[in-house]
Structure 1
Amino acid sequence: MSNYYHGAKASKQATSVSTPVVADSSIHLIVGTAPVHTVGGKINEPVYASNYAEAVAAMGYSDEWDKYDICEEIYSSFKLYSNGPIIMVNVLDPAKHLKGAETVEKTLAGGITELPYEAVSDTVEVKGYDGEDSLTETYTRGEDYDLFYTDGVLRLERIESGKIKADNARLNIKFNSVDPSKVTKKEIIGGYDTNTNKSSGFELVDSVYPKYGVIPTLFLAPNFSTDSEVAAIMAAKAENINGLFTGKAIIDADTETV
């Protein structure tokens, strides 16, 4: 005969452990300059990077942080503190922020010579001399020579099957270089262009969440945030992110006056 229970009854049952929800917080957004001419990187677009390799592939890298301040953030976040992801906005435009064309004479050593890291590879023009001092040959990239950014320089290498016949050939090389010093605080602050319907600089803050689904809450602009106007804009943007969220502006102190 079955047993019947009367009144209250308690029992135990194993419960599955729920997966915790990981919240992304304190995500850095940095607006500044990067050597994007070395990797064909983006200009005035938020770029998401979750690790060092992604950041360098998107922005390039240089240890000259006074020129390329985004690289300081890349090194600090990923190499020193393993803190990511980060959002980067580069405002350095290799088609706009230029020093001007220059021409140098180089003699290959083992089929190789070097140009400055700031040289824009797409602007390089290479010519060769005849036996005297007349420029008689115009060489073509990919056929006669190739270019690579490596170890802080732009390396030119002779292609053996090309028209540069000697490993010690004398070349006339014309090129243009980026000039990060020409980036202004106005470009860091940014704005909205009604002609192009595009935002720039810190005006891109509100486009991060729709694009990547994360909220940047720490705003940085090394080398520029010591300026009171830049600092004020950063603080204002941090107080109203997408009309819903708030963050903080990390302002640099001017060590020459403090």
Structure 2
Amino acid sequence: MSEYKHGAFASIEKTQDYIAPAGVGTLPVYIGRAPVHQLEDASASIGVPLLINSYNDALAKLGYSEKWHSYELSEAVYAHFKTSLGAIGPIVVINVLNPAEHKATTQKVQEITFAKGRCELQSADVILNTVEIEGKVRGTDFTAEYTPDGSRIILKDLKGTLAAEQLKYWETNPTDVMEDDITQALNTALPLVYQMFNKIPTLLCAPNWSHLQTVAGAMLSAAHKINGHWYAYCNLDMPSDASVNTIETAVAKKEECAVGAGASLYWPMARKGDRVFHLSTLATMLMQYTDYSNDNLPYESPSNKPIDIAGLCLQDGTAIQYDQLQANVLNAAGIGTAICWGGKWVLWGSQTSLYKHGTDIDPKDRFDCSVRMLYYIANRFQSKYGNEVDKPMKRSRVETICNDFQAELDGLCDVGAVLLGNIRFEETSNPVSDMVSGNFVFDLETTTTPPAKSITVKIQYTAKGVSVLFGGDE
């Protein structure tokens, strides 16, 4: 029987975690540093892919810190699970920070005083499992844990016996992580994503690192045929320091950047409050969100879609302002950015990093969504027919593959994901010498759906309407 109530009531409920919606197909992979020193045991969170489904999941596997310039994977976690746009995931993260190796050269010693059974230590870099108080046992005499924002440690007296004490601890040194650590993770950990989770990695992002030419080049290389099969699209950043602080310097700097059809390049950075985002992170999140809204088909560009920011800035937070016409100068050079349009901030630019206005480019390489749809079709064919390998290639199996995948292509045409899609088994592509060796080729042609990069109306004045003044026909 329900409780009888008469009056105004309130109850404090348990925090509801941000949970990503079910059925998301696009899988971003982030490479960088995470504050795993906040964990009691970080050994399972170093150098391997970690599947993150929610914010609380990230806390348990990675920790969290607002110090994004040192722990950029926390930026990715926030972008996917904490912005006002809503949670979107899952994501895979590969952390390269090892607290046992990337740490200060000397142990720190600090005098602390407990008041009312607790004490705070202001530091975001303390390696949690190294915290000790002379003559005391952690977990028996006292506890130590990070605050939710990762900015400080709270120490609690469990027995009421602590007062003025000597605290010892080690701090991590995230600057010890080098670009070689990132490129190595791309070569060794990225191929494990499919093996561990049976999921195809489709987006690559390395915020705070991809502005380095060696890292960007390694990402473009690693994203091509992961495990010998899968294609992933890269979101890259340009430098946003004092040397690249205007549109003109950004356009000039692009000539030195590693670029390719399989990547978008972004400048500058974005801000909201005290937080500074890499646009590559926001673009990756937005691609996943847009794909999810389109039944997991990547045929729509994230350009002109809302992002949760308040402005643009350089790496140090210095504000930058420009309008759409000025932003188009960046787009013409193959650089994506963001603008304020229609009362909201949106990502702006659908061209790949290979694009440059006025130069010849293969039509398939022009737009981010076109390249990603080609990747989708390639990945889909391989994953769908991998089980057919080593089966007898009878005439009926050839027809089954053609008919089956043609139905998929027809479905893509029906929703506008492509304008045309045909698959055939041609004699010219399958010489007898290849077939007797067990090698068979199917030819597929498709026309990806281009985005409406510009929409123009031609307005012409006419004097015909003057006749209405005389009561004539309108």
Alpha-carbon distance, 1:165 to partner: 2.2
Cα offsets for 1:29-50 (capped at 9, x unmatched) = 0111111121234100100112
SS at 2:222 equivalent: helix
CA contact (8 A) 2:24 2:90 kept: no
Which residue does the alignment assign to 1:110?
A: 116
Work out which of the residue numbers 177, 184, 195 in structure 2 matches 1:183.
177
Identical columns (%)? 31
Partner of 2:222: 237
Is 1:30 matched up with 2:30?
A: yes
CA distance in 2, matches of 1:247, 1:143: 49
CA offsets, 1:70-118, max 9 Å, x none? 0111111122342211000011101011123111111112121122231
Distance 1:250 1:144 in 2: 48
Whether contact under 8 Å (1:52, 1:74) holds in the other structure is: yes
Secondary structure of the residue aligned to 2:31 is: strand
Provide the residue aligned with 2:161 in structure 1: 165
Aligned equivalents of 1:236, 1:219: Cα separation in 2: 11
Q: Is the 8 A contact 1:31 1:202 kept in 2?
A: no
SS at match of 1:139: coil
How do 1:36-115 residues align onto structure 2 when only pairs under 5 Å count?
36-39=36-39, 40-41=41-42, 42-80=45-83, 81=85, 82-99=87-104, 100-115=106-121
Q: Which residue of 1 aligns with 2:301?
A: none
Q: Contact 1:67–1:180 (CA<8 Å) still a contact in 2?
A: yes
The CA deviation at 1:202 is 4.4
AA aligned to 2:152 is V
- Do the aligned partners of residues 122 and 255 (structure 1) sit closer, same or farther apart at CA in structure 2, a change above 3 Å counting? same
The amino acid across from 1:101 in the alignment is Q
- Which one of the candidate residues 122, 133, 136 is aligned to 1:126? 133
SS at structure 2 position matched to 1:64: coil
SS in 2 for 1:219: strand
TM-score normalised per structure 1: 0.77
Q: Answer with 227-236 or 105-114: which moved more.
A: 105-114
On the 8 A contact 1:112/1:156 being kept in 2, the answer is yes
Q: In structure 2, what is the equivalent of residue 222 of structure 1?
A: 207
Q: Distance in 1 between matches of 2:130 and 2:186?
A: 26
8 Å CA contact retained: 2:144, 2:154: yes
SS at match of 1:114: strand
Give the TM-score taking structure 2 as reference length.
0.43
Q: Which amino acid aligns with 2:128?
A: S
C-alpha separation between the residues in 2 aligned to 1:178 and 1:143? 25
Matched letter for residue 148 of structure 1: E
Partner of 1:146: 143
Q: Report 1 or 2 for greater relative contact order, CA contacts < 8 Å, sequence distance ≥ 6.
A: 1
1:179: Cα distance to partner?
1.4
Match of 1:18 in 2: none
After TM superposition, give the deviation of residue 201 of structure 1 in Å.
Answer: 4.5
CA distance in 2, matches of 1:157, 1:88: 32
Matches within 5 A, 1:1-16: none
- 2:24 and 2:165 mapped to 1: Cα distance? 56
Unaligned ranges ≥5, structure 1: 1-21, 128-137, 191-199
Structure 1 residue 23: Cα displacement: 7.0
**Counterpart code for 1:33:** R
**1:202 and 1:60 mapped to 2: Cα distance?**
25
Q: 1:30, 1:89 within 8 Å by CA — same for their partners in 2?
A: yes
For residues 176-198 of structure 1, what are the alpha-carbon distances to aligned partners after superposition, in whole Å with 9 as ceiling and x for unaligned? Answer: 011111111111111xxxxxxxx
**Is the partner of 1:216 in helix, strand or coil?**
coil
Aligned match of 2:361? none
Distance, in Å, in 2 between the alignment partners of 1:250 and 1:202 is 18
Specify the code of the residue in structure 1 equivalent to 2:112.
K
Shift in alpha-carbon separation, 1:73–1:23, aligned structure 2, 3 A: closer
Number of aligned residue pairs: give it: 212
Higher helix share: 2
RMSD: 1.7
Q: One-letter code of the match for 2:218?
A: I
Q: Structure 1: how far apart are the matches of 2:52 and 2:62?
A: 10
Name the amino acid aligned to 1:31: I
Q: Distance in 2 between matches of 1:206 and 1:121?
A: 31
CA distance in 1, matches of 2:56, 2:136: 34
Matched-pair contact (CA < 8 Å) for 1:105–1:170: yes
Query: What is the CA-CA distance between 1:203 and the residue it aligns to?
Result: 2.6
Match of residue 14 from structure 1: none
Q: Deviations over 1:206-229 (max 9, x none)?
A: 111111011111111111111100
Aligned to 1:16: none
When you count strand as a share of all residues, which structure comes out higher? Answer: 1
What SS does the aligned partner of 2:156 have? Answer: strand
